[in-house]
Amino acid sequence: MNPAEPTAPPSAPTLCLHGQGIVRGYTIGRAVIMSAASLEVAHYHVGPADIEAEGLRLRHAIDTAVAELRQMAGALPPDAPRELAALLSVHGLLLEDPMLVQSACELITERHYNAEWALATQGQLLVEQFSMMEDAYLRERSADIRQVIERVLRVLSGSSAWLPALDTAQADGNFIVVARDISPADMMRLRSGKFAAFLTDLGGATSHTAIVARSLNVPAVVGMGHVRALVRDGDQLIVDGTNGVVLVNPSERILLEYRERQAAFQRERAELKRLRHAPAVTLDGIQIRMEANIELPDEAADALAAGAEGIGLFRSEFLFMGRPDLPDEDEQYEAYASVVSAMGGRPVTIRTLDIGADKTLDGDATVATNPALGLRAIRYCLANPDMFHTQLRALLRASRHGCVRILLPMISHMHEVRAAQRAIERAAEQLRDEGIPYAEGIQVGAMVEIPAMAIAIEPFAEALDFLSIGTNDLIQYVLAIDRGDKDVAALYDPMHPAVLRLIAHTINVGERVGKLVSVCGEMAGDARVTRMLLGLGLTAFSMHPQQLLDVKKEIRLAHSNALRVQVASALNRAERIDLAALS
């Protein structure tokens, strides 16, 4: 720091906030507060003299929301899905429905509720009534009611848009989204905006929101607790994604220091790029396979640019999220085929739909008692055979453009493997009968992410062509720690001996029966644990493209066999492994 630099005036102290950094790097920019989409609102009683004004405030907010919807409908691009216009008009109609408006106004006049409380109470009632209806179409409307109420609540809170309109001349376009939480679907929507960083109150490092942020490759800090309450729109922020630190309204001196760190980080990235074509081989000659995780087809280009040898995990569910309908077979086929063709013969591992838990389909009003343990992933697909069949046909059709591998998520029972294999067979037979081409002999593998499967892995390893360890869920289920819950994030411990033993066991059995075992959870892309994974015997990694070179650098400096001896002896004693001591 230059001692001659002016210090900040005492009226603007720099605030320093902490969370979990999930994407390395530094950003300096301006805060954009994302309004909360929640029915949790302030509850207070309005005085008798203010009741009329409160009623008017509610009616005015509803009128504004209706006008917003009309404006959006009028501005839809010609190629927007037809359903979108219909959906906007349904939302407008719901807002004009007396059941909602009048009843909420009555809560203001009769019980003296504030406008937000009245609207949320009436809305909640309607959501419950609709979600219990027998008719599936009406049941789905409960999600629409929730969305329109959230829209009006945003108007009431003074922030009418989901994100405020951005003045792109400001802050050189370096906008930093500050939110209570961002759902994976919202994060996908933010992809198209120009955001330089993300900060959230909630969330853990392996939540799906964090995973999508990583695929955007902009610094992000999650689990910050109160960032949304402490930061105002337009505040200048420094985001240190490497250390999970955010500085609010920093002094000139601090800004200078961070500009230097930013420049050093960029130099380091540029240096790493030279490893792109270097082989991923350890010092003792063990060849390591390095593949990429992607969420959307256009990320195949990032994978290639980072030197990936294939796609180790294509999370197909992101094609299904943030839209009112499901992609049909042709749309899915186009998406899969574009990745397969882009990868030019390199393997592309496409995971069948892993919907459920924090990844929900729009309009799916199902409320699972415990979503992480509920109808998720393969369970959802086997319970919705038509949807599964459509995806399998699309996957098989895409296989003729290169090398497709099908990956089944959340397997716990052998009968699920057999049912999925039969479903693949059926889809193939149908294509054959229709004369539609596909590649024969597609490899079918499964995610190892439920402890039961990892413990009793032998029959799975025999029956499947490959295994891919999903450490994000495996850790969550072994340690009973919700991967998205910031309050228990400190207990989410990838280095727990129980977790490492399950990974080691899976790798050992895979080696014994001659099946490829890779890791595609976030651990694979964390260069701090690369040596440990090599020590467990891992020879195939799949991670976000932007992490590939950091991990490759570690691999090229490691002695795989020596690491195996060290790690095996610690695991035999169920000891914690000291990462710093691994040579």
> Which residues are catalytically annotated?
208, 520
- Residues 307 to 326 in contact with ligand PEP, rule: CB under 6 A: 313, 315
Query: Under 8 Å CB-to-CB from 514, ≥6 apart: which residues?
Result: none
- Residues 415 to 474 in contact with ligand PEP, rule: CB under 6 A: 449, 470-473
Query: Under 8 Å CB-to-CB from 495, ≥6 apart: which residues?
Result: 529, 532, 576, 577, 579
Window 345-384: contact mask with ligand PEP (x via CB under 6 A): ---------x------------------------------
Phi, psi of 236 (to 5 degrees): -85, 135
- Residues 14 to 73 in contact with ligand PEP, rule: CB under 6 A: none
Instruction: State how far the Cα of 330 lies from the Cα of 161, in Å rounded to an integer.
Output: 34
Window 193-212: contact mask with ligand PEP (x via CB under 6 A): ------------------x-
DSSP string, 263-330: HHHHHHHHHHGGGTTS--B-TT--B-EEEEEESSGGGHHHHHHTT-SSEEEEEGGGGTSSSSS---HH
- Residues 517 to 536 in contact with ligand PEP, rule: CB under 6 A: 520-521
How far from 66 is each of 275, 465, 583, CA to CA, in Å? 54, 54, 63
Residue 445, SS3 per DSSP: strand
CB 284 within 8 A of CB 546: no
Minimum CB distance to ligand PEP, residue 276 (Å): 24
Residue 216, token pair as written in the block: 């955007």
Minimum CB distance to Mg ion, residue 576 (Å): 24
* Count of other CB atoms within 10 angstroms of residue 262: 17
Minimum CB distance to Mg ion, residue 473 (Å): 4
- Residues 459 to 498 in contact with Mg ion, rule: CB under 5 A: 470, 473
Residue 98, token pair as written in the block: 């007396």
Interaction between residue 449 and Mg ion (CB under 5 A): yes
Residue 174 or 471: which CB sits closer to Mg ion?
471
Minimum CB distance to Mg ion, residue 407 (Å): 11
Instruction: State how far the Cα of 494 lies from the Cα of 450, in Å rounded to an integer.
Output: 15
Q: Which long-range contacts (CB under 8 A, 24 or more apart) does 530-533 make?
A: 530/554, 530/555, 530/558, 531/558, 531/563, 531/579, 531/582, 532/495, 532/500, 532/563, 532/567, 532/577, 532/579, 532/582, 533/503
Minimum CB distance to Mg ion, residue 315 (Å): 9
For the chain, what is the radius of gyration of the CA atoms?
Answer: 26
Instruction: State how far the Cα of 321 lies from the Cα of 326, in Å rounded to an integer.
Output: 8
Buried b (16+ CB within 10 A) or exposed e, 478-490: bbebbbbbbeebe
Residues facing residue 20 across a β-bridge: 222
Interaction between residue 405 and ligand PEP (CB under 6 A): no
Residue with token string 């032998």: 458
Residue 359 or 401: which CB sits closer to ligand PEP?
359
Residue 142 or 476: which CB sits closer to Mg ion?
476
Minimum CB distance to ligand PEP, residue 351 (Å): 8
Minimum CB distance to Mg ion, residue 449 (Å): 5
Residue 114 or 471: which CB sits closer to ligand PEP?
471
Minimum CB distance to Mg ion, residue 254 (Å): 39
How is the beta sheet containing 195-200 ordered, strand by strand? 15-18, 245-248, 236-240, 26-33, 175-179, 195-200, 220-222, 20-23
Buried b (16+ CB within 10 A) or exposed e, 543-567: bbbbbbbbbbbbbeebbbebbbebb
CB 349 within 8 A of CB 310: yes
Residue 24 or 376: which CB sits closer to ligand PEP?
376
Interaction between residue 554 and Mg ion (CB under 5 A): no
CB 545 within 8 A of CB 519: no
Residue 358, SS3 per DSSP: coil
Minimum CB distance to ligand PEP, residue 322 (Å): 16
Strands (E), 52-194: 175-179
Q: How many residues belong to the site for ligand PEP (CB under 6 A)? A: 11
CB 503 within 8 A of CB 467: no
Half-sphere exposure of 548 (CA within 13 A, CB side): 32
- Residues 300 to 329 in contact with Mg ion, rule: CB under 5 A: none
- Which residues in this chain contact ligand PEP in the complex, by CB under 6 A? 211, 313, 315, 354, 449, 470-473, 520-521
Binding site for Mg ion (CB under 5 A): 449, 470, 473
